[in-house]
Amino acid sequence: MSDALLDLRDVRKVYGDPDTGLVALNDLSLTIRKDEPEIVTIAGESGSGKSTLANLVLGFTRPTSGQIMFDGTDVGNASAKQMKAYHRQVQAVFQDPFGSYNPFYRVGHVFDMVIRNFKLSSNKTEARQMMEEALNAVGLTGDDVLRKYPHQLSGGQRQRIMMARAYMVKPRLIVADEPVSMVDASLRASILDVMMRLRDEGGISFLYVTHDLSTAYQVGDRILLFYQGTLVEHGKATDVISNPQHPYVQLLIDSVPKPDPTQRWQGEIILPAEEELRTAHSTGCRFVPRCPHAQPACSAALPPAYEVGPRGHRAACILHAPPPQA
Amino acid sequence: MSEPVLSVRGLKVYYATPDGDVLATDDISFDLERGETLGLVGESGSGKTTATSGILRMVSSPGRIAGGRVTLDGEDMIALSDEEFRKRRWSKLALIPQGAMNSLNPTMKISAQIADVVRTHTGAAPDRARVLELFQMVGLPERIYEMYPHELSGGMKQRVCIAMAVALNPTVIIADEATSALDVVVQRVVAQTLAKVRDALGVSMIMIGHDMGLMAQMVDRIAVMYAGKIVEIAPVADMFARPGHPYSKILIESVPSLTERRPMKITEGITHDPRNPPEGCIFQLRCPHVNDGCTKPQPMRELRPGQTVACHRAEELEGAHV
């Protein structure tokens, strides 16, 4: 167990009554190893449980059952003091690069706050050096940005500065919750590039929460796809996205608009009525109401994750159940 | 070619600030042909939404229409009195606003909000059958007639807004980021609804957005905006096969691929102060191919039939990567 950096064991989060409430995350197990920094993408549509997972890992909310272990510390039951130490190891970058700044303070203020909060340094020259190093890691320099106000920077720069702020603490894991979804397409690459550099040069792992499969394909090592709180498919990002096996993931990938006018969408998709989609108390596969391959057995029990390809590619769909042994 | 249904010439919308005017939309011209869907793309702040608020005469202080002509069905829209123009809104020129699903009144039933639009512009409320007909057109079930906005999902609310926009059989619909902020599958369903309604009614459409992938799926022609100017207009196939402007290329290449893992193109740089655009090409401060000629004015010129571009190096850079 000592080689696990983050280890989630059967983590379940239920909002409301544990028996009748909404299951936001259903018995998830996930391990990120210490010796192999990686970008793990957590993907799915709204309500799939991906932000719940981010909030659990950040310690903002506690699991209903199961355990979240980080390098031997039980995050779900940590004291306030342990949590502070934990946040030196696990940092966050959020979606909105406009809302993360106080518009009245210069950019340097976000770094001052972190240095003070974690007592990283009491020496001004040293503090400035730390800021410089962190900014250089994201391709910026202190002279360019520290004296500026947030509105003087582009969304892409602001988000890279947020990455630098997280990096300065020298964490081992960064939870990035939709870090590029509010940044213009032409500037997204710079943020994703920073994530890859921090992984390769800083040895930092990422939980990259997104609904955007194309960026996950470009930067993600592993991907986990969720539907209504359950993990439906996971594996290497390139394997899963180029060869999806779960009917939901197939629909999802086919719906990403291709930047090619000669390959337009074929066929019409009908969404069932909302109330038919609410399957919080279903015992079986959550995707049954929308699935073109649904059969009676699908509603009986949640299908296990069957092996569907190399490198740990698994999909929770009975279409992939191995044939019964003769 | 027949008369365009909507024609915009030299439209300027400026916002007054203490340090001078922000040239949010600066001298743009384009035509919308009958039955056509035109995509208007560009990054945040490029002036897409401001351009449409100019066309719809919805610019409010400190903004103003500083010049230009908008002709709809042969009629000069800018010269009309406010009251005369108000009658054209919705009935000839309908808008699906950005974040439309949050523009519904939370205290009014869906059916009442659609009826309200019709009554305001025709003086008579539509009957239940007409509202249900609109529901059917956009794929909404009858049972939402008595419902309130909070009872619907984002995709359904977005379809309510489409129903409102077509309620008066307009000639032109402007859809401002009509499918952003939706999950990809829902986005596809809403886009599909929009296309179906467009084809059924033969309406012309301007689709505003920033997602080149969605544009490739939906539109006939694309106009690319940067910092208040249109820098290129082309049929969608030409735009993707042979973009003429370096900025169009950057927009197309910045769509991450789902089939090929490749090093990402990093384009940084900050747009100039919109109060003080550079002399000559509007994109010169961020352009990877800038040279001395770029400080001269760059008027839109024809690169090939149907494709116009504001770049003096377009032929030379054809096929070159950004």
pLDDT tens-digit profile of B210-233? 889 999 999 999 999 999 999 999
Q: Residue B195 carries which DSSP code? A: H
Mean pLDDT of B86-95: 90
Q: Which residue of B has its CA nearest to A274?
A: B153
What's the rounded Cα separation, in Å, for the pair B202 and B212?
Answer: 24
What is the distance in angstroms between the Cα of B147 and the nearest Cα belonging to chain A?
A: 13
Q: Helices in B123-172 by DSSP H: which ranges?
A: 128-137, 154-166
Which segments of chain A have a pLDDT < 70? 1-2, 186, 272-281, 326
A chain contacts of residue B261, beta-carbon cutoff 8 Å: 217-218, 238
Cross-chain Cβ contact B184/A258 below 8 Å: no
Smallest Cβ–Cβ distance between A184 and the set B44, B155, B237 belongs to B44
Tokens found for residue A156 = 């892409």
Contact call for residues B320 and B246 (beta carbons, < 8 A): no
Cross-chain Cβ contact B183/A211 below 8 Å: yes
B chain contacts of residue A256, beta-carbon cutoff 8 Å: 184, 213, 258
A chain contacts of residue B257, beta-carbon cutoff 8 Å: 214, 217-218
Q: Which of B38, B258, B322 to mutate to test the interface with A (most CBs of A within 10 A)?
A: B258
**Per-residue exposure over B108-143, b if at least 16 CB sit within 10 Å of its own CB, e if not:** ebbbbbbbebbeebeeeebeeeebbebbebbbbeee
Smallest Cβ–Cβ distance between B251 and the set A185, A190, A215 belongs to A185
Cross-chain Cβ contact B186/A238 below 8 Å: no
The chain-wide mean pLDDT, for chain B, equals 90
Q: Which residue of B has its CA nearest to A152?
A: B270
Q: Which residue of B has its CA nearest to A212?
A: B184
- How confident is the model at residue B115, as a pLDDT? 93
Q: Which residue has the tokens 């999802």?
A: A252
- How confident is the model at residue B320, as a pLDDT? 63
Q: Which residues 225-244 on chain B approach chain A with CB closer than 8 angstroms?
A: 236-237, 240
What's the rounded Cα separation, in Å, for the pair A81 and A83?
Answer: 5
Cross-chain Cβ contact A189/B264 below 8 Å: yes
Write the single-letter amino acid at A281: H
pLDDT band at B254 (very low <50, low <70, confident <90, very high): confident
B43 at interface of A, judged by CB pairs closer than 8 A: yes
Fold of the CATH domain A4-220: Rossmann fold (3.40.50)
Cross-chain Cβ contact B184/A211 below 8 Å: yes
Smallest Cβ–Cβ distance between B210 and the set A185, A189, A259 belongs to A185
pLDDT for B177 beyond 90: no
Start-to-end C-alpha separation, chain A: 37
What residue spans define the domains of chain A? 4-220
- How confident is the model at residue A242, as a pLDDT? 94
Smallest Cβ–Cβ distance between B261 and the set A217, A257, A258 belongs to A217
Long-range contacts of A259-262 (CB under 8 A, 24+ apart): A259/B212, A259/B213, A259/B216, A259/B240, A259/B252, A259/B255, A260/B216, A260/B240, A261/B216, A261/B217, A261/B236, A261/B237, A261/B240, A262/B237
- How confident is the model at residue A231, as a pLDDT? 96
- How confident is the model at residue B266, as a pLDDT? 67
A chain contacts of residue B213, beta-carbon cutoff 8 Å: 256-259
Q: Which residue of A has its CA nearest to B252?
A: A259
- How confident is the model at residue A184, as a pLDDT? 74
B chain contacts of residue A270, beta-carbon cutoff 8 Å: 139, 189
Cross-chain Cβ contact A184/B255 below 8 Å: no
B199 half-sphere exposure, CB direction, 13 A CA radius: 9
pLDDT band at B80 (very low <50, low <70, confident <90, very high): very high
Cross-chain Cβ contact B192/A262 below 8 Å: no
Q: Which residues 115-134 on chain B approach chain A with CB closer than 8 angstroms?
A: none
Q: Which residue of B has its CA nearest to A261?
A: B216
**Per-residue exposure over B21-30, b if at least 16 CB sit within 10 Å of its own CB, e if not:** bbbbbbbbbb
- How confident is the model at residue B52, as a pLDDT? 92
Cross-chain Cβ contact A260/B270 below 8 Å: no
How many CB atoms neighbour CB B220 within 10 A? 18
Mean pLDDT of B173-190: 86
Expressed in percent and rounded to 5, the helix, strand and coil fractions of chain A are: 35, 20, 40
B138 at interface of A, judged by CB pairs closer than 8 A: no
The burial class, CB within 10 Å (0-12 / 13-18 / 19+), for A106 is middle
- How confident is the model at residue A326, as a pLDDT? 58
Name B176's bridge partners: B208
> Is the interface score ipTM higher than 0.90?
no
B155 at interface of A, judged by CB pairs closer than 8 A: yes
What is the distance in angstroms between the Cα of B273 and the nearest Cα belonging to chain A?
A: 10
Smallest Cβ–Cβ distance between B256 and the set A45, A215, A269 belongs to A215
Q: Residue A131 carries which DSSP code? A: H
A chain contacts of residue B152, beta-carbon cutoff 8 Å: 274
Q: Which residue of A has its CA nearest to B193?
A: A268
- How confident is the model at residue A38, as a pLDDT? 96
What is the distance in angstroms between the Cα of A217 and the nearest Cα belonging to chain B?
A: 6
Cross-chain Cβ contact B214/A265 below 8 Å: no
What's the rounded Cα separation, in Å, for the pair B95 and B251?
Answer: 25
B38 at interface of A, judged by CB pairs closer than 8 A: no
